[in-house]
Amino acid sequence: AECAADAARVKEAHGEAPGLAVVLVGSRKDSETYVRSKKKACAEAGIESFSADLPEDVSEEELLEVVRGFNADPRVHGILVQL
């Protein structure tokens, strides 16, 4: 509830909701569950969520390129990388 109120204040002050990008590397069930819970929490709190699912064998450069892309997106205010 507190997080939702904060997100609403940010949206009112800046004209857009806060945004969280989640990058999931691989297909571990526990990581998938964790990422799903973060997306659900974002939805409940009024925070936009963005995601990218990458294969376990992704190169470091490919991963960094995805992170750079989210970093350059003005809608994204935080990035979570789950390995």
Question: Amino acid identity of 39?
Answer: K
d(CA 62, CA 65): 5
Q: Is 31 a catalytic residue?
A: yes
Q: Is 39 a catalytic residue?
A: no
Q: Is 27 a catalytic residue?
A: no
3-state SS string for 53-81: EECCCCCHHHHHHHHHHHHHCCCCCEEEE
Catalytic residue of the set 11, 29, 38, 39:
38
Catalytic residue of the set 31, 49, 51, 59:
31
Catalytic residue of the set 11, 39, 51, 82:
82
Residues in a beta bridge with 50: 21
Residues that are catalytic? 31, 38, 82
